Amino acid sequence: MSKDQFILAIETSCDETAAAILKNGQEVIANVVASQIESHKRFGGVVPEIASRHHVEQITMVLEETLKKANMDVSEMNAIAVTEGPGLVGALLVGVNAAKALAYANQIPLVGVHHIAGHIYANRIEKEFTFPLLALVVSGGHTELVLMQEHGSFEIIGETRDDAAGEAYDKVARTLGLPYPGGPEIDKLAQVGEETIDFPRAWLETGSFDFSFSGLKSAVINHLHNSKQRGEEQNNANIAASFQASVVDVLTEKTYQAAKEYGVKQVVLAGGVAANKGLRQRLTQKFSDANISLSIPPLWLCTDNAAMIAAAGSIAYEQGHRAAWDLNANPSLDLERYGSRAK
Ligand code: KG4
Ligand code: ZN
């Protein structure tokens, strides 16, 4: 038996049906993602029932393709890892049931993975972690600063009090009449626009590492409303650039302050909004002269995928975590509790 560790992972928490095989926690052997974005576009957002149905239709094919690409058999895997939450319950269930069936039929250990732990561990595929580590998690459903003292332990030191960063992007994009998902559309526009509007920055109380984006979202909507009433022409590129400047300012400054305060050795960027050009540039600039290493995942590892679930699953497997055969989808799985769960 080979000493190498192979993990087959499944991710179906939202609108991507994904599977991947990772060798020794860091080497991607196969990575397959079937996106449903086109099906949800005409509704302006993810429709849970449609997402579940697509996952059911795609999962077998995605798994077969992953194994074929790797030229491996399920029996060669050390464990099957699967996103158990958070996410859409019907969508999660498809992945959880597929993972259970595969693991049980082949009598291989099953490992449950928290979706956000996966986003954080996407960074370990490129570079080994150095602790203490701080992760800035920015996705469609989450905006958090997560402190890690060691593998598998997560402490949330700041989080959004209202909208997640990605959610704010998607909502503002919708008011600007841009297609779903709005984040990449605003990012593109922001590159060609200028920061002509001084939108608010929600710094909150001194010393707080929490975030708030709902005030900014309202400010953008008010700005649009007022300029329409005055009969002014709307410049979407400048609005996008001004909105993005506010989001990126707050995310970058708070991450930097928290990194200093907690004396971390490494900062990692995680989640769908990690694909944002403006955020990637500003963080790189800000940390360039700090004595802290900064990791930003390549674009293919920012949006939902299963390689990141395998990366987190690999560590969980090594640490002895095993899911029981009655593993269930948990749409509101808590990250800190997940990190401190018994083996
Ligand atoms: O992590 P993710 O794929 O799904 C969740 O786990 O939520 O994140 C999706 C979010 C969406 O809100 C999308 O608009 C946003 O990430 N996003 C971006 C960019 N690319 C994706 N937001 C800003 N700029 C981008 N380039
Ligand atoms: Zn995600």
Domain boundaries in the chain? Answer: 6-121+302-339, 128-296
**76, 100, 111 from 107: Cα distances, Å:** 11, 10, 13
Which atom of ligand 1 is closest in space to residue 304's alpha carbon? 3
User: Pocket of ligand 1, candidates 178, 187, 303, 305: which has the most ligand atoms within 8 Å of its Cβ, to mutate?
Assistant: 303
As a CATH number, domain 128-296 is 3.30.420.40
Compute the distance from residue 335 Cα to the ligand 2 centre, in Å.
13
**Is residue 85 within 6 Å of ligand 1 at its C-beta?**
no
Q: pLDDT 10s per residue in the chain (343 long)?
A: 569 999 999 999 998 999 999 999 999 999 999 988 887 887 888 888 888 898 999 999 999 999 999 999 999 999 999 999 999 999 999 999 999 999 999 999 999 999 999 999 999 999 999 999 999 999 999 999 999 999 999 999 999 999 999 999 999 999 999 998 899 999 999 999 999 999 999 999 989 999 999 999 999 999 999 999 999 989 999 999 999 999 999 999 999 999 999 999 999 999 999 999 999 999 999 999 888 999 999 999 999 999 999 999 999 999 999 999 999 999 999 999 999 987 7
Q: E-strand spans in the chain?
A: 6-11, 16-23, 27-35, 79-85, 110-114, 133-138, 143-148, 155-159, 266-270, 293-295
Compute the distance from residue 87 Cα to the ligand 2 centre, in Å.
9
Question: Domain 6-121+302-339 in CATH: superfamily?
Answer: ATPase, nucleotide binding domain (3.30.420.40)
- Of all ligands present, the nearest one to the C-alpha of 87 is 1
The answer to whether domain 6-121+302-339 and domain 128-296 are alike in fold is yes
**Is residue 78 within 6 Å of ligand 1 at its C-beta?**
no
- Residue ID of nearest Cα to ligand 1 atom 1: 272
The rounded radius of gyration (Å) of the Cα atoms in the chain is 20
- Residue ID of nearest Cα to ligand 1 atom 16: 272
User: Pocket of ligand 1, candidates 169, 175, 243, 246: which has the most ligand atoms within 8 Å of its Cβ, to mutate?
Assistant: 169
Contact 18, 11 (CB under 8 A): yes
Compute the distance from residue 172 Cα to the ligand 1 centre, in Å.
13
Between strands 133-138 and 143-148, the pairing is antiparallel
